[in-house]
Amino acid sequence: MDFTQIQSNAVSKWDAMLSSDKPRILVGMGTCGIAAGAEEIVAALDQKLAECDVQADIIQVGCIGLCYAEPLIEVVKPGKPGLFYASLTPELVGEIVEEYLVADNPRPDLALGTRGEGTVDGIPRLFDLPVLKPQVRISLRNCGNIDPNNIDHYIANGGYAGLAKALKMKPQEVIDEVKDSGLRGRGGAGFSTGTKWQFCHDASGDAKYIICNADEGDPGAFMDRALLEGDPHAVLEGMLIGAYAIGASEGYIYIRAEYPLAIQKLLVAIRQMEEYGLLGDDIMGSGFNFHLKVKEGAGAFVCGEETALMASIEGSRGMPRARPPFPAQSGLWGKPTNINNVETWSNVSAILQNSAAWYAAYGTEKSKGTKNFSLAGKVIRTGLIEVPMGTTLREIVYDIGGGIPGDKRLKAVQTGGPSGGFIPASMIDLPVDYDSLAQTGSIMGSGGMVVVDEDTCMVDMTRFFLAFTQSESCGKCIPCRWGTKQMLDILEDITNGKGRTGDIELLQELAESVKDNSLCGLGQTAPNPVLTTIRYFRDEYEEHIKRHHCRAAVCKGLVKAPCSHTCPAGVDVPRYIRYISAGDFDAALAVIRERIPFPSICGHVCPHPCEAKCRRGLVDEAIAIRALKRFAAERGNGLWKEKAKVAPATGKSVAVVGAGPAGLTAAYYLAKQGHAATVFEALPDPGGWMRYGIPEYRLPREVLAKEIDEIRDVGVDIRTGTRVESLDELFESGYSAVFVGVGAHQGTRLGIEGEDGPGVVDGVSFLSDANMGKPPAVGDTVAVIGGGNVAIDAARTALRLGARQVTIVYRRTRSEMPASEEEIEEALHEGIAVDFLAAPTRIESGNGAVELTCVRMELGNVDASGRRRPAPVEGSEFSMAVDTVIAAIGQMPEVPEQFGLASGRANTLQVDRYTLATNREGVFAGGDVVSGPATVIEAIAAGRQAAISIDQYLGGSGAIDETLTPPEELEALPEIDEGETHRVSVPTLGVGDRLKSFAEVELSLGEEMAVCEARRCLRCDLEEE
Amino acid sequence: MSPTTESIVETKVETITLTINGQQVEARKGATVLEAARGAGIYIPALCYDPDLKPYGACRLCVVEVEGMRGLPTSCTTPATDGMVVHTETPRVNQGRRVTMELIFANHHADCFTCAKNQQCELLKIAQYIGMEQEHLDRLRKSAQVLPIDRSNPAFEYDPNKCILCAKCVRACHEIASVGAIGLAFRGYEAKVTTSGDRPIIESICKSCGECVARCPTGALMPKWEKAPTREVKTTCPYCGVGCSLYLGVRDNKIVSVRGDSEGPTNKGSLCVKGRWGYDFVSHPERLTTPLIRIEGTSRGAPHNGQHHDIFREASWDEALDLVSERLLETKQKFGPDSLAALSSAKCTNEDNYVMQKFTRAVLGTNNVDHCARLCHASTVVGAIAAFGQGAMSNSYEDFEKTDLFFVIGSNTTDCHPIIGSIIKRRVKSGGAKLIVADPRSIELGDYAAVRLQHRPGTDVALINGLMHVIVRDGLEDREFIKGRTEGFEEMRQLIEKYTPEAVEEITGVPAPDLEAAAHVFAEAGSACVLYGMGITQHTTGTDNVKSVANLLMLTGNIGREGTGFSPLRGQNNVQGACDLGALPNVYPGYQRVDDPTVKAKFEAAWGCTLSDKPGITVTEVADAIYQGRIKGLYVMGENPLMSEPNLVHARSALEKVEFLVVQDIFLSETAWLADVVLPAAAFAEKDGTFTNTERRVQRVRQAVVPPGEARSDWQIVSDLADRMGRPFGYEDASQITDEMASLTPIYGGIHFERLEEGGLQWPCPDDSHPGTPFLHQGSFARGLGKFHALEYVPPAESVSETYPFILTTGRVLEHWHTGTMSRRSKVLSELRPDGVVEMHPGDALKLGLVEDDVVALSSARGRLETKVHITDKLAPGVVFMPFHWREAPANILTSSALDPQAKIPEFKVSAVNAVLAVLDKAAQDNEFLARLAENPAEALKGYDLTAAEKAALVSGDIRKIESWVGKLDERLRTWLVMRLSQEKW
């Protein structure tokens, strides 16, 4: 039978199938499908079809790429488009058979999309879905469409026509065609495939070999597996074309033994080719002979390197050798050999089936065609994708991948597997092609793409990849064998808190050297994760080394418990929660007191970043840590005072400028270290933003007063109403050091017309007036501009000042709102409206009325912060008439110029990140004046650091930590409540009662509630390895 | 004789020019950048580079920058090309090297002060070159991994903590030694050099050759016993006939180190286990240091117990030599010169042998001089002279590099000629050559063979006739060669007609298809050579066997050109030289016949005496001649016939009878124990001279240490004796003897000490300008036309019988040599292989109820011994094998003294023996039932009229009952009985 006949037979069988009057059901039976339960789906289908007496053809196909949606089926009823149903269970399959096949309800609620001609109401076209729209399927053209075990399916879809065409061409013409297509090696290095073939073609030798590299070894990569499982012939046809072009008559497929399904598909495909005379001697009557062997590899990563791969085929230990000689001259068994990877081969068959020009129309100038990626990690839609070269990371992560789960922030995208690099979120618009990736320090690799979010520690992730490459190093050359080990040791030290100054530079030096000096690609690329993370995430390394801090709270050696690690002040959360659970509230308070002087204040107002990292949250809901802290502060007695010590006077004195949380904290600890601390405050009362910013209904003033009194109790002299005009004067009057903690009390201007008119106030002044007992008149209707906590505070305060209607105008949506979730919740609860996606453009005021004109916004692309960027919608202006406009879009510090302190962005002071030293000798600064508007707990942390640095500056040890509890007795602890539980719901004041006054909204926890909640804590700090 | 000499072809070496560090450098085309640089005196550090090994590129210290090339290529793997511009010391290169060295030191657990490698350490040298700084080392994390040291091998130890994984050891083991005992295992930093299964080295297939140790650049692989020498002396190995060149390191008159001579043309630096570790015998406390004279009245039959003071008294040289001279002259006078005989020695130098045969002929006046070549290659000399006119190996080791096919028959090359074994394995493994192996044992080389034939002992003629039958039948013979260069083909062709594969299968046990395959592989090879050893020669048909080999070579035209050849592998270090220099009863030096009057006249003139034209008797005839009273006095130099002769009981009783026996040796050997006078001789390391190896290469032996006590060189002792007997030779040093040899021995005509400095010369080397002869028989044979011999298969002299149901075949093991006088006094060699064993097929062992390590009694018609059994499927059922090195169980007690009629070589390879569990054998001596049980258990039981109760007792293995009939049994015998009886079908 000649090929034309084979072809026409295949086409008629295929057409017969398409025009059959039986419905057909395609089931995704790739490894991903089977792992998700596709076999049960097939069984359920069989059973249900029999039960309902429906005749249908079930066709098992490969993976279509939507791995997140497996098990996946396509149901095609005669004359109708195919309907895809995703994430199936046997029960759902039953429903679909009954309702769509027996009845005619397509169940739009279950269907994912349609394929083929025609539309179905309520179901989008599959290829219009964001996940598929940007994709172009060349290499994966048949995956999910055809039965990989049926060669006729492949042939009917154009299969082996490329080979037939090639065999009519001269080998050189075939090579030229591939060259013209611009195809570059999809194994990762991106060398021109046609040129590579040319070398092998030109090499002299009686025997030549073709090898398909299917040793896919990157953790998380599955492109080649899926392709071989879904369309083995596309790869095999490519190999035959290559063999003909270079003059090889023997070939190997080197595939890892861990891919049993792919191996089975290949073996079936090879047998079918032999039956059709497409393999063996005199293929298609052309005189071209080709024989193929499948060689199973034992799973060594290095065997993906071509010389190691060949050594492995030859039966030796898979170790690379130096080149030259290149495999094109002396490869397998010393003969000229050409190796390409799975994806390259399947592109080759597509190129010959179509044309070089057709192929070259896809992609970029230097990277033609498409590229497959296995999209994995912190992304909603994981799966196998194929996109034209030049598609941006943004399109891949957000459009195809659907973004990051759990509203987390994107941190980086890792490409190229363990030897690739991390591309930071800021480079999200990078087009994915060989050269752009290389410029970032990463590589294309074979197509692994791992999305990394904020909960990933870059140092730890780098350590993980190094551990992989190190353990997969063949050990032959010294830089790779011991260089990767040395880097791994250093990374382990860093993640264990044993990092040393100079380690980052050492890592860089080692990485460069290993890259430069290693024998093969494994060693030459293994340092990429190190180099790219240092390049883009150096801060994280420094935090690990200098502060023993892991911002993602994952490094086990540093992080006792993620909650306390995340707390800026490092409060030992699990320990005080344990004391609460045991009923020892004195001790609980003492534990908190070991790190902060404002337990109660924090218990009221802390935005509790700790709770976001609480491991209990992964089980059910995070522990209500802040509420427990408040409880401890309320119930705990003076145990802490008994143990607290004040060091003998050192005779040194320190001036603290500003009595906010940073300044008071610094003064407190300095006094305890024996220094005379004097706090200068321009305003009438101490407390800073705690007093003049945070409304009373959130922080009762007696709580504030009590804790400030306790600061005074250790000897701190607070001089209110005293504005410091010059630091020189302070030094002249005998202070040895100064801490500047003046906060950020200057409202940020809107920058629009009319913002200085009557009826327009800024949020800072508004709140501070309200808190100073000079409540401004707000009228009936108030518009608050902004989305942060100040905006919410202003809105709620306005409500309490008598406004009937308060509207918050925010330019993005709720999910981007920076204010804390519970504040937003309470505001809405109290009847405050939020107008999302609106931005003010103009304010006109007069006659006691204010007209606020806004424009509608829409969200565009994601910006560097990982949030989608708002853009005005043209012609969408609208106005609202209000009595008062409160502009609360941000604050800035105001530091007298004569202080002589260097400042930077948004008027913030520039200090050493770790010591808080300013440019002036003996002057330190911290809190909002350095960070910009932040939180009380961050200000406390800054105050602590300032106290440490100043104490050290004054010759002390800087040891401010205290132990205020006796050693913990762990034997008699109450058991952890491991059942599925809910987080305690904190009692609040009824809305009606709230608006009458500034009474505290949130109420105290009862003892039973607190103890129950405390017993939910998993005690991560006691966890043993 | 008309020796053909290969003209030295001037091959013009193509050169290229490149620029290294701004300097124009010329290099051989094909050289690597590293070779080009080093050739020009530009140093590039490297740890994994070794000129003898394939480029590896792993240590990354030899990286350079090459203009136009990406990255930092390793100079050891990068070919130098014309016009290339190379920089070897750029900042980038130096930075890379420094980091690489730092990484090595971070993983190197060693204290250089206590490391035995110390100043020899390549790592240390490169560290100094690069200039390592402490601050750089301190910043790195030191590896916490401390691995155990492998001290399992008696010769060397392996400390993986000092290993840098340059893999030189692994590559040497694979590429040079062709053993492959070690390899890289595990991945990442856990990668290490180890054995299969990560077992201790001693449990691996390691042959302890130490090639790895010699190549290790650090102290990871270190000899256990070596010390740093104060000087080194180049000499030639005294073990097998390969003739490896080596350096002995000397300190305080003691050999403290050994290293292979990398310039040595024979071994190119390689050594085997004996050659590397086996020299401590030289300073062994049992060395003879003074002449000894038998105390009057002590019996020759006294058992050898090592305590010689009861038997011998120490004497001065004068007294001893006077006594010898007197007794020899007296005997000569009384019984005529032919009543005296001398045994010369294949272990001694050419000069010693020349002097000995001259002494025998010119002083004693007889041609009764022979040596143990008689026991190994006498048949080669006779057979090859008959076929070609020349008795030596026709080719060179160099040819082994060019051959397409090795046919190894009757040679356990990897054990007996390890360096040649390695060459064969290397050539076969690299795909450069094929291999056919024919041997009654399943020897190691068989594992590499394209075709492996396991024929019955003594069926070589039939086997080769069968091969030739197939070749001729299928028209694969080289008709042109046969026509042009041979005679006697037709007669042979007719004879082999009946040796069809089927007929040959019947005789040899080799399946016909295997034979056909072998014939085709052999005949279709472009060039083939046949290597053989004692398996061919030590037969009553030894000469026929050799002629058969010659037939096969001539039939296929595989002689007289490159890559082809006739390669008898000589067993002892200088057996070739001893033959060449006339230690044979029928020829003068250079194979000049004693019965040729012109020759006789030449020697008479040269030596100034009258000589006998009557060929003397052979070694193997001496014993009978003593019995018959024809030989009265015997002078043995460096031979140990009481271990090496067949039928030792007979040989011993002959030597006990001889009237006067002089033994000159380095130890009190089994033979010396019987002597009247024992003369202490110098060992190889204590004298000057020459050895001739199996490829006819004459090489220098140089004195490294002073002999112990009063021991003297053999030639000096014999010359002194000649003096005393009135015929002074007048030699002042060994070179004078060499010069005299050259003047009288045409094939050695151009051989003088000063010409041997550059690696020796291969004879024929007729004159001072002749470059030596790498291969013989080019163009024509020494006898003109080559002669085919039509040879019928004749079975061996002995065959199995009911009494002696096993065929014993003897041979060597790798770690020992000859009669063990030297190798068994080497600490390493004796620890590696302390005991002798008999090897037996598992089926036979099962039948006999033997388990591994059982002590077995072996007996033949001639004697009995006991030894341990080693059960192995390397033997065919019915064949047992025993090495002959152990005097505790001397295999030759059992062997047959049946001789090849032409060459007088004994049939060591086929003796009929019985084997029985030793305790059973002892118990059987006085119990008839056990005796019959030992002989044939099934028959024994049937032969008795047993009651039902007795039968039941036997069936159930009721030992108590059995003991009540046969008496108390040894514990092993009890378990044996239970096991054996349970096997029987009652």
Predicted pLDDT at A777? 87
**Interchain contact A477–B (C-beta under 8 A):** yes
**Interchain contact A923–B (C-beta under 8 A):** no
In one-letter notation, the amino acid at residue A591 is V
Those residues of chain A that have pLDDT short of 70 are: 861-867, 1025
**Interchain contact A510–B (C-beta under 8 A):** yes
B541-594 tens-digit pLDDT? 999 999 999 999 999 999 989 899 999 999 889 999 999 999 999 999 999 999
B201-245 tens-digit pLDDT? 999 999 999 999 999 999 999 999 888 899 999 999 999 999 999
CA-based nearest residue in chain B for residue A470: B188
Cβ separation A476–B58 shorter than 8 A: yes
- CB-nearest to B188 from A319, A473, A510 is A473
Predicted pLDDT at A391? 95
Q: How far is B83 from chain A (nearest CA, A)?
A: 17
Q: How far is A475 from chain B (nearest CA, A)?
A: 5
> Per-residue DSSP letters for B366-411?
---EE-GGGGTTHHHHHHHHHHTS--S--S-HHHHTT-SEEEEES-
Q: How far is A75 from chain B (nearest CA, A)?
A: 49
**Number of Cβ within a 10 Å radius of residue A161:** 17
CA-based nearest residue in chain B for residue A302: B187
**Interchain contact A513–B (C-beta under 8 A):** yes
Predicted pLDDT at B940? 64
CA-based nearest residue in chain B for residue A469: B188
B720-773 tens-digit pLDDT? 999 999 999 999 999 999 999 999 999 999 999 999 988 899 999 999 999 999
Q: What is the DSSP letter of B865?
A: E
**Interchain contact A520–B (C-beta under 8 A):** no
**Number of Cβ within a 10 Å radius of residue A211:** 26
Residue B946 in this model has a pLDDT that exceeds 80: no
Predicted pLDDT at B957? 74
Cβ separation A478–B71 shorter than 8 A: no
Among B423, B399, B377, B49, which residue's Cα sits nearest to residue B272? B423
Predicted pLDDT at B955? 73
**Structure tokens, B504:** 């040959």
pLDDT band at B4; cut points 50, 70, 90? very low
Cβ separation A479–B164 shorter than 8 A: no
Rounded Cα distance between B674 and A411, Å, is 94
pLDDT band at B321; cut points 50, 70, 90? very high
Predicted pLDDT at B937? 62
Rounded Cα distance between B104 and B119, Å, is 18
Distance of CA B80 to the CA centre of its chain: 41
Cβ separation B59–A477 shorter than 8 A: yes
Window 82-141 of B, Cβ < 8 Å to A: 92, 95-96, 99-100, 103-104, 106-107, 139-141
Q: What is the percent of chain B with per-residue pLDDT over 90, rounded to a whole number?
A: 75
CA-based nearest residue in chain A for residue B74: A322
Q: How far is A549 from chain B (nearest CA, A)?
A: 22
Cβ separation A519–B106 shorter than 8 A: no
- CB-nearest to A510 from B99, B187, B189 is B99
CA-based nearest residue in chain A for residue B71: A516
- CB-nearest to A479 from B79, B100, B192 is B100
Collapsing DSSP to helix, strand or coil, B232 comes out as strand
**Interchain contact B454–A (C-beta under 8 A):** no
Predicted pLDDT at B10? 45
Which residues in A lie closer than 8 A to residue B165 (C-beta atoms)?
475-476, 478, 481
**Interchain contact A476–B (C-beta under 8 A):** yes
Residues with Cβ within 8 Å of B964's Cβ and at least 6 positions away in sequence, in order, are none
Which residues in B lie closer than 8 A to residue A523 (C-beta atoms)?
none
**Interchain contact B188–A (C-beta under 8 A):** yes
Which residues in A lie closer than 8 A to residue B58 (C-beta atoms)?
476-478, 519
Predicted pLDDT at B366? 95
In the block, residue with structure tokens 């052979």 = B618
Looking at per-residue pLDDT, the higher value among A849 and B485 belongs to B485
**Interchain contact A757–B (C-beta under 8 A):** no
- CB-nearest to A482 from B57, B107, B167 is B107
Predicted pLDDT at A867? 67
Cβ separation A482–B71 shorter than 8 A: no
Going by their DSSP bridges, the two strands B806-811 and B786-787 should be labelled as: unpaired
With helix as H, strand as E and coil as C, how does B541-600 read? CHHHHHHHHHHHHHHCCCCCCCCCEEEECCCCCCHHHHHHCCCCCCEECCCEECCCHHHH
**Structure tokens, B228:** 């740093």
Q: What number is the average pLDDT over the span B42-71?
A: 94
Question: Could you tell me if the ipTM is greater than 0.90?
Answer: no
Which residues in A lie closer than 8 A to residue B167 (C-beta atoms)?
476
Predicted pLDDT at B985? 65
Angstrom distances, CA of residue A317 to CA of A178, A340, B194, B907: 34, 21, 13, 47
Cβ separation B99–A506 shorter than 8 A: no
**Number of Cβ within a 10 Å radius of residue B7:** 8
Residue B7 in this model has a pLDDT that exceeds 60: no
**Interchain contact A311–B (C-beta under 8 A):** no
In the block, residue with structure tokens 């086997």 = B463
pLDDT band at B862; cut points 50, 70, 90? very high
Residue B68 in this model has a pLDDT that exceeds 90: yes
Q: How far is B117 from chain A (nearest CA, A)?
A: 21
Phi and psi (nearest 5°) for B67? -60, 130
A211-268 tens-digit pLDDT? 999 999 888 889 999 999 999 999 999 999 999 999 999 999 999 999 999 999 999 9
**Structure tokens, B461:** 């003629």
**Interchain contact B57–A (C-beta under 8 A):** yes
**Interchain contact B194–A (C-beta under 8 A):** no
Q: Is A849 exposed, middle or buried (0-12, 13-18, 19+ CB in 10 A)?
A: middle
Tell which of A303, A503, A508, A513 to mutate to test the B interface (max B CBs under 10 Å). A513
Which residues in A lie closer than 8 A to residue B127 (C-beta atoms)?
none
Q: How far is B119 from chain A (nearest CA, A)?
A: 23
B381-401 tens-digit pLDDT? 999 999 999 888 989 999 999
**Interchain contact B55–A (C-beta under 8 A):** yes
Distance of CA B906 to the CA centre of its chain: 19
Cβ separation A478–B165 shorter than 8 A: yes
Cβ separation B165–A476 shorter than 8 A: yes
Which pTM value belongs to this model? 0.88
Cβ separation A486–B60 shorter than 8 A: no
**Structure tokens, B809:** 């075949």
Cβ separation B184–A476 shorter than 8 A: yes
Cβ separation A485–B107 shorter than 8 A: yes
A918-940 tens-digit pLDDT? 999 999 999 999 999 999 999 99
Q: Where are the alpha helices (DSSP H) in A902-955?
A: 928-931, 936-953
Residue B6 in this model has a pLDDT that exceeds 60: no
**Interchain contact B230–A (C-beta under 8 A):** no
The half-sphere exposure of B96 on its side-chain side, counting CA atoms within 13 A, is: 32
Which residues in B lie closer than 8 A to residue A302 (C-beta atoms)?
187
- CB-nearest to B139 from A324, A476, A502 is A502
Which residues in A lie closer than 8 A to residue B140 (C-beta atoms)?
486, 506
Residues with Cβ within 8 Å of B128's Cβ and at least 6 positions away in sequence, in order, are none
Cβ separation B165–A513 shorter than 8 A: no
> Per-residue DSSP letters for A134-184?
T---STTTTTTTS-TT-HHHHHHTTTTHHHHHHHHS-HHHHHHHHHHHT-B
CA dihedral B483, B485, B491, B494 (to 10 degrees): -50
Cβ separation B92–A516 shorter than 8 A: yes
Cβ separation B184–A489 shorter than 8 A: no
**Interchain contact B421–A (C-beta under 8 A):** no
| Bridge partners for A209 per DSSP | A250, A337
